[in-house]
């Protein structure tokens, strides 16, 4: 049974991790494309329109990959997690169906019009189609996060005698206190990814001395949006989300922060340390006293409960994984802010385009927002374990009892092979588009 649940979780983790590499770019990119198109309408400078069309090609490729990798993931609700779907389908089915029916169709329909309808529509209607693509992609994120937030902090439900969850307050799904901080944090994270990708592509153009005008535009836009979104990820969105975890999932908060024992007075914030699960402590830790209490409760001496205060059967099932995921996310977020501040300072001094080492840093930094977003999601998901629906439905009780671990492992290996090929194809096509660069006066 444990093997079966392990492989079920591994398969879902792999498919959703690979899938989310694509929406995190498209959501942020949709806003930047709308920005470029708006700049063109205001200034009538062609390079803004050319930039919008260039990035929409990258968007379309990502969108296609997101669709291809998203469909198998949803099938797993019926194969590996049939019991979870049977018990909670009356609730999560609502938001997931809305995401498919409204957001996905809105996004896909107007993506086609944006890519191929510019001459037919004229520039103002072309801008509207771009805006509707943006609206669809951000609404999609909202509805997925509404589903996720209900699993983290269930509201508006009742449980029938047969164990099934039913919705008794539809509005509660969207007024869930978990939803808004999660959504804003997630969208800011996707803006970080798209800003770094844009700045990195611009830096590549400047360093290789081609498409220089677009290189400067992409670096400037990426740095300005990147600085704003990197700051927003940390405060207020990350701060609000951490406070939510501290209030509603205190055992996950203790594991995230590496607090094994409750300490009298204020809790320290751990910068570096390795969880030692045998001795229930952090090895080689570097910590700053009382800071965590102040950041969480604005009180230097507020006590924060350690893992020792909770029964072991409600501890997160992978405390080291949760601790490292959280600290990687926070560490990378801090580096992003530092790099974007330096780049913005050089931009202000009109020296950025000639500061080679910052351009190299921006280009080489492209993979790291993907890592930060992924570890952020791992923090949320590992923090909720051992529950599928927090405090109500355990992960072990949501798996399909009739699907063997062998079947799941076999299909997982199939997914790994197929997704490896898809990933290589994506990189090849994206590289081709980027290498060719924006085409002047496409309209």
pLDDT digits (tens, 9 = 90+) for 274-292: 999 999 999 999 999 999 9
Q: Is residue 89 in some structural domain? A: yes
Q: Cα–Cα distance between 375 and 3 in angstroms, integer?
A: 24
Q: Is residue 411 in some structural domain? A: yes
Residue 313's pLDDT band, with cuts at 50, 70 and 90, is: very high
Q: Is residue 164 in some structural domain? A: yes
DSSP 214-279: HHHHHHHHHHHHHHHHHHHIIIIIIHHHHHHHHHH-HHHHHHHHT--S--SSPPPEEEEEEEETTT
Query: Any idea which residue has 């806003």 for tokens?
Result: 31
Dig out the tokens for 220 from the structure.
């400037």
Neighbours of 245 (CB within 10 A): 25
Query: Stretch 117-145: mean pLDDT, rounded?
Result: 95
Residues in CB range of 109: below 8 A, 6 or more apart: none
For residue 5, the enclosing domain spans 1-176+404-443
3-state SS class at 24: helix
pLDDT, averaged across the chain: 94
Q: Is residue 63 in some structural domain? A: yes
Neighbours of 303 (CB within 10 A): 14
Query: Stretch 210-235: mean pLDDT, rounded?
Result: 97
- Give me Rg for the CA atoms of the chain: 23
Q: Is residue 259 in some structural domain? A: no
**pLDDT, tens digit, 9 for 90 and up, residues 15-57:** 999 999 999 999 999 999 999 999 999 999 999 999 999 999 9
Ramachandran angles phi, psi of 326, nearest 5°? -65, -45
Q: Are 197 and 25 in contact (CB under 8 A)?
A: yes
**pLDDT, tens digit, 9 for 90 and up, residues 64-76:** 999 999 988 888 9
Q: Is residue 419 in some structural domain? A: yes
Q: Is residue 88 in some structural domain? A: yes
**pLDDT, tens digit, 9 for 90 and up, residues 143-179:** 999 999 999 999 999 999 999 999 999 999 999 999 9
Residue 265's pLDDT band, with cuts at 50, 70 and 90, is: confident
Domain count, the chain: 1
Residue 379: name the closest of 322, 307, 314, 317 by CA.
322
Report whether pLDDT(442) > 60.
no
Q: Is residue 7 in some structural domain? A: yes
- What pLDDT shows up at residue 443? 45
3-state SS class at 284: strand
Ramachandran angles phi, psi of 318, nearest 5°? -135, 80
- What pLDDT shows up at residue 441? 65
């Amino acid at each position: 049974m444990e093997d079966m649940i392990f492989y079920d979780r591994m398969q879902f983790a792999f498919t959703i991790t690979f899938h989310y590499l694509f929406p995190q770019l498209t959501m942020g990119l949709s806003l930047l494309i709308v920005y470029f198109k708006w700049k063109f309408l205001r200034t009538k400078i062609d390079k803004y329109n050319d930039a919008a069309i260039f990035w929409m090609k990258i968007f379309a490729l990502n969108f296609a990959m997101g669709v291809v990798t998203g469909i198998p993931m949803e099938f797993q609700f019926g194969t590996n997690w049939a019991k979870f779907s049977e018990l909670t389908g009356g609730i999560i089915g609502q938001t997931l169906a809305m995401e498919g029916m409204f957001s996905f169709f809105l996004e896909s329909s107007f993506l086609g019009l944006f890519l191929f309808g510019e001459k037919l529509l004229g520039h103002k209607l072309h801008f509207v189609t771009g805006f509707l693509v943006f609206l669809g992609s951000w609404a999609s994120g909202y509805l997925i996060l509404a589903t996720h937030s209900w699993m983290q902090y269930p509201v508006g439900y009742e449980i029938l005698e047969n164990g099934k969850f039913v919705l008794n307050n539809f509005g509660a799904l969207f007024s869930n206190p978990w939803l808004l901080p999660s959504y804003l944090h997630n969208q800011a994270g996707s803006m970080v990814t798209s800003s770094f990708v844009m700045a990195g592509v611009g830096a590549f153009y400047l360093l290789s001395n081609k498409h220089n005008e677009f290189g400067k535009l992409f670096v400037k836009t990426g740095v300005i949006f990147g600085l704003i979104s990197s700051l927003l990820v940390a405060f207020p969105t990350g701060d609000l989300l951490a406070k939510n975890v501290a209030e509603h999932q205190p055992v996950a908060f203790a594991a995230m922060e590496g607090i094994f024992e409750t300490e009298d007075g204020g809790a320290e914030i751990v910068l570096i340390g390795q969880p030692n699960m045998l001795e229930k402590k952090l090895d080689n830790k570097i910590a700053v006293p009382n800071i965590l209490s102040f950041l969480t409760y604005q009180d230097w001496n507020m006590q924060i409960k350690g893992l020792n205060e909770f029964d072991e059967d409600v501890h997160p099932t992978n405390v080291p994984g949760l601790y490292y995921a959280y600290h990687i996310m926070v560490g990378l977020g801090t580096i992003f802010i530092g790099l974007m501040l330096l780049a913005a300072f050089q931009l202000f001094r009109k020296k950025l385009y000639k500061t080679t080492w910052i351009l190299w840093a921006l280009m080489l930094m492209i993979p790291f927002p993907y890592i930060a977003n992924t570890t952020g999601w791992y923090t949320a998901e590992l923090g909720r374990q051992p529950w599928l629906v927090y405090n109500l439905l355990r992960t072990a009780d949501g798996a399909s009892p009739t699907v063997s671990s062998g079947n799941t492992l076999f299909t997982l290996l199939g997914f790994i092979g197929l997704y490896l090929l898809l990933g290589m194809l994506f990189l090849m096509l994206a590289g081709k588009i980027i290498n060719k660069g924006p085409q002047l006066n496409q309209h």
